Amino acid sequence: MPNQSFVDIMIMVKNAYFCVAKCKVDNLKGGLHLFQLGTDCLEGFFGLIRMAIGTDTNVDIMQLGSHASGLVEVAVILVLHPEWDQSPHRLGLKMITKDITMEINSKFDHINPASWHGSASVESINLHMAWILGEHAAINLIPEVEQVFDDAVQ
């Protein structure tokens, strides 16, 4: 595994732990969608900027500044009313496989709260137990890492 990918995964796990912990402190009855910690929201915002700028191929700092504040308001409204968000429509192409019934769906890559069916509640999450279970899983996969965990505790 390349070093950068490994570091990205470590940062992603750390970010998930911190976000869940902050959400539990701020609003124990609240919810958190871990998939929103990625860059999809940023990509969506840049899509709104491209829509506002129009056919101009490059955005200068003046255009970005003049449009960004209004687009932030649009983004907040769309978060409050996800049913109003009409995301871009993509051409649905079939995968090139032996199984011709399998279709590519844009939702595989871009999940949002409106398409999520499940619990996003942080109330029942026990971060300490999740850490211990992850440590045991890592030791089962790589037994040599047990000494590293023992040294980190001391």
Query: Measuring CA to CA, how many Å separate 141 from each of 76, 116, 129, 144?
Result: 43, 31, 18, 9
Question: Which structural domain range is residue 86 located in?
Answer: 3-123
With respect to residue 83, please indicate whether it lies within any of the assigned structural domains. Answer: yes
With respect to residue 134, please indicate whether it lies within any of the assigned structural domains. Answer: no
- 3-state class (DSSP) for residue 94: strand
With respect to residue 33, please indicate whether it lies within any of the assigned structural domains. Answer: yes
Answer positive or negative: Cα dihedral of 87, 93, 96, 97: positive
Q: What is the pLDDT of residue 78?
A: 79
Query: Measuring CA to CA, how many Å separate 66 from each of 52, 57, 80?
Result: 10, 17, 23
Q: What is the pLDDT of residue 132?
A: 92
Q: Is the pTM of this model over 0.75?
A: no
With respect to residue 143, please indicate whether it lies within any of the assigned structural domains. Answer: no
Q: Which residues contact 22 (CB under 8 A, 6 or more apart)?
A: none
Query: Measuring CA to CA, how many Å separate 127 from each of 16, 42, 132?
Result: 10, 27, 9
With respect to residue 110, please indicate whether it lies within any of the assigned structural domains. Answer: yes
Residue with tokens 């089962």: 140
Give the number of domains in the chain: 1
With respect to residue 95, please indicate whether it lies within any of the assigned structural domains. Answer: yes
Going residue by residue through the chain (154 aa), what tens digit of pLDDT does each one get? 788 888 888 888 899 899 999 999 999 898 888 877 776 667 777 777 777 777 776 778 888 888 888 888 887 887 788 788 776 555 454 545 555 555 555 455 556 777 777 888 899 899 999 989 999 999 999 999 999 888 888 7
Q: What is the pLDDT of residue 105?
A: 52
CA of residue 94 relative to chain centroid, distance: 26
